[in-house]
Amino acid sequence: MLGWRTGFILPGVLALLAAFPPWTQPQNVSQSHGPNSRTLVLDGMGKGTADLGGLWQFHLGDDLQWAQPGFDDSQWKSLLVDAPWGAQGYPSYTGFAWYRRHVDIVPEPGASGQYRILIPDAEDAYEVYWNGHLVGSYGHFPPHPYWYYTVFPRSFPIHGGSGGVLAIRIWKAPLDIFSLAESGGIYSTPTLGDPDSITLYERAILWSEVQQDLFDYSLVLLRLFIAVLCVVLWTRSRKEQLFLWVGVFTVTPVGLGILQNLFFIPFSYELARGINQPLYVLSNISLWFLLVWLLRLNENPRILKVTDLIARITLIVGLLDGMLALFWGNATLWMQWADGILAACILLSELYPFALIFLGLRKHLDASRWAVAGTAFLVQMIRTIADASALGQRFTHWTLYSSLIDNNSFQIQGVVFTPEKIASLALFAAIVYAIYRYVIETQARRTALEQEMQSAREIQQVLIPETLPSLEGFAVTSAYTPALEVGGDFFQILANSDGSTIVAIGDVSGKGLKAAMNVSMIVGVIRAETAASTSPQKIVSALNQCLVGRMQGGFATGIVFRLDSDGTVTLANAGHLPPYLNGQELTLEPSLPLGLIKQTDYHEVTVRLQPGDQLSLYTDGLLEARNERGELFGFERMNNLFATRPTAQQASETAVAFGQEDDITILTLTRLAAGQESSTQLVAPGLSRAS
């Protein structure tokens, strides 16, 4: 039943175990004690294993003479090897100690005489001696200690005689703030046997651990998939930070699990704990921001600011605690105190989610978000109580840690479920469901926004004329390129009954839907005023009167002019950039933009266009184009551009190629000589039409 899952998830582990099927157990060898009760007799030793349990001679300290078989250990204490020395009268002891056991091996006829000893579980670094000869080691001793974050079973060859003394020299690293007093030394009974049986037994131990973690291996794939999906969604919309924090929250347990032996990678203690501390803190921080976004607390800038500040401080604390671990092999008393203080600070930060959930109670949220809040509260409560109990437990002797973390609620196919794991799975499921609901809600909001934008685009059809009227004696070109789908520039060309033409061009502050709505109001006023008067000064003044107090803090600039058939141009400017006549900027009196002050005077300026003269008008999107180096298009480039007397399309394309940042509208009028045919050209890619 597990074959397809393990074959898919753990091909490397199964390949490791395939050579020795883990469900086949080696045959045990009979044991007895010799005349000296300190001597263990293994009778009939051949194919099979024998545990080396019972009482071993034990002594604190370190002396290499203790490895010699002739050394008298009769005055040593006797200690069991199926439990750490901390639980047998030596609590909180760190440093060197020795175990010795006299073993008499009686091989069966035809036996090879080749044996190995398996040490399943011992802390932290050790050496194994047989009759005074070093046969193997695990880690390194001080002054440059090296030991592993997770203990692995190791076996070593036994050569030279069928009887003698096994001596194990062991070193326990300094205790950190979460270490138990009942720790140190050998935890599980060593086993002796022929090489094949020991290898088989070692793999059986590994298989047992794999079987217990099968569910976690499956979760790794699911978490990685969700994390990658969230990162992709976040890169598409950086403002949706919820996806980022869900991705971090789902992937950090994978990193923590890998450090804690999920894939049997032998990380050193200093490296693994140095990474574990900040990674654990990052997991907590990601839960905070996840709650902030799911409970819509991000709408409150103060909560966001406080959360960010606490997160930064906590991450620094986690990094400092991790840096301490890098030098833990030679930890001094002040380092142990610092470890305790930093761990206590991390523990205090674990109370912050409770405050976020309390603040979220004021929100009217759907059931999926409250499911996340409820399960997050449960998980955090378990973690906080467990961490508080584990913090300095060798001094407090609290047992909540073992009750909440190590307590097995139930098992399924050998997979152990603890309260903390059950609550974490419930939280994970709630988050996945809440994210699903969040995506649905976001899509609905985007659909509504798209409908609004479509309405705005329809409104904008009146902002830019679909076709330009033919002006007798003039060639007219225009180009409109919005920076967004809906822009804030406008221009109008309106023919009057007396043969003159009113031309208006301008720019509304801002972009998007708000700017488009303001432009629609401006265009309506221009059309209404043009029907009543052909005076540019009166049109501009009426437009200013209408806009004051109606633009929600915004303003507009613009030029309105009347073009007569004889080439006379009468201009009224409202804070807009001066037009160019034959490549030279016209000099206009300074004036205020529209919509700022109700009582504002605007003046008219008159110029006469001769055949061949070109008048060019533009909005500030041309002047403010910016390239990748941050340089503005600027007046110098603009003077050079209009000196070439470009069409509106040519000028617009030049600005866009340089680096468009704002809406660009350009209008040119060229007086034709008698007999030349009038022409118009309108280029408006933002409206997907040209004429």
Residue 9, SS3 per DSSP = helix
DSSP strand E in 603-678: where?
604-608, 614-618, 664-671
The predicted structure's pLDDT at residue 17: 41
pLDDT at 97 over 90: yes
CA distance 328 to 147: 11
Residue 682, SS3 per DSSP = strand
- Tell me the pLDDT band of 689, cut-offs 50, 70 and 90: very low
Q: Cα angle at 482 between 586 and 519, to 5 degrees?
A: 75
| Claim to verify: residue 471 and residue 422 sit in the same structural domain | no
Residue 590 tokens read as 């300074």
CATH number at residue 333: 1.20.1070
| Claim to verify: residue 236 and residue 89 sit in the same structural domain | no
Residue 526 lies in a domain: yes
Residue 226: what residue type?
I
Q: Are 509 and 594 in contact (CB under 8 A)?
A: no
Residue 592 tokens read as 């205020």
- Tell me the pLDDT band of 465, cut-offs 50, 70 and 90: low
Average confidence (pLDDT) over 10-18: 42
pLDDT at 351 over 50: yes
| Claim to verify: residue 573 and residue 640 sit in the same structural domain | yes
| Claim to verify: residue 176 and residue 281 sit in the same structural domain | no
Burial class (CB in 10 A: 0-12, 13-18, 19+), 397: exposed
- Tell me the pLDDT band of 533, cut-offs 50, 70 and 90: confident
pLDDT at 61 over 80: yes
Residue 78: what residue type?
S
| Claim to verify: residue 138 and residue 197 sit in the same structural domain | yes
Residue 143, SS3 per DSSP = coil
Range of the domain at 230: 213-447
The predicted structure's pLDDT at residue 246: 82
| Claim to verify: residue 78 and residue 140 sit in the same structural domain | yes
Residues forming a β-bridge with 172: 95
| Beta-carbon-side half-sphere exposure of residue 210 (alpha carbons within 13 Å) | 24
Q: Does this model's pTM top 0.75?
A: no
**Strand 125-130 versus strand 415-417 pairing type:** unpaired
- Tell me the pLDDT band of 217, cut-offs 50, 70 and 90: confident
pLDDT at 435 over 80: no
From 167, 193, 209, the end of a domain falls on 209
CA distance 412 to 428: 19
**Block residue for tokens 């002040």:** 334
pLDDT at 226 over 60: yes
Q: Mean pLDDT, the chain, as a whole number?
A: 82
The predicted structure's pLDDT at residue 32: 55
Residue 187, SS3 per DSSP = coil
Residue 12 lies in a domain: no
Q: Cα angle at 24 between 20 and 29, to 5 degrees?
A: 105
| Claim to verify: residue 497 and residue 374 sit in the same structural domain | no
**Residue length of the chain:** 691
Average confidence (pLDDT) over 499-507: 88
Among 294-303, 320-329, 402-411, 424-433, the range of highest mean pLDDT: 320-329
Residue 456 tokens read as 């705005």
| Claim to verify: residue 29 and residue 59 sit in the same structural domain | yes
pLDDT at 642 over 50: yes
pLDDT at 513 over 90: no
Which ranges in 484-625 belong to alpha helices (H)?
A: 512-532, 536-547, 620-623
* DSSP H/E element including 679: strand 679-684
CATH number at residue 51: 2.60.120.260
From 209, 225, 257, the end of a domain falls on 209
| Claim to verify: residue 139 and residue 269 sit in the same structural domain | no
pLDDT at 16 over 70: no
Residues forming a β-bridge with 80: 55
| Claim to verify: residue 383 and residue 289 sit in the same structural domain | yes
The predicted structure's pLDDT at residue 424: 77
Residue 18 lies in a domain: no
Average confidence (pLDDT) over 524-549: 86
| Claim to verify: residue 259 and residue 298 sit in the same structural domain | yes
Residue 452 lies in a domain: no
Task: List CB contacts of 466: < 8 A, sequence separation 6 or more.
Answer: 682, 689, 691
Query: Could you tell me which residue, 538 or 520, shows the higher pLDDT?
Result: 538
Residue 673 lies in a domain: yes
What is the dihedral sign for C-alpha 647, 653, 658, 661? Answer: positive
Residue 4 lies in a domain: no
CATH number at residue 532: 3.60.40.10
Query: Could you tell me which residue, 184 or 455, shows the higher pLDDT?
Result: 184
Q: What total of structural domains would you count in the chain?
A: 3
Average confidence (pLDDT) over 428-434: 81
Please write the tens of the pLDDT for every residue from 604-615: 999 999 999 999
The predicted structure's pLDDT at residue 407: 67
pLDDT at 314 over 70: yes
DSSP state of 669: E
**Strand 39-45 versus strand 95-107 pairing type:** parallel
- Tell me the pLDDT band of 311, cut-offs 50, 70 and 90: very high
The predicted structure's pLDDT at residue 580: 93
Q: Cα angle at 366 between 361 and 369, to 5 degrees?
A: 70
Residue 576 lies in a domain: yes
CA distance 396 to 393: 5
| Claim to verify: residue 353 and residue 493 sit in the same structural domain | no
Cα–Cα distances in angstroms (integers) from residue 86 to residues 94, 188, 189, 399, in the given order: 10, 14, 16, 16
pLDDT at 243 over 60: yes
* Backbone φ, ψ for residue 574 (5° rounding): -125, 75
Residue 455 lies in a domain: no
Residues forming a β-bridge with 180: none
From 447, 470, 489, the end of a domain falls on 447
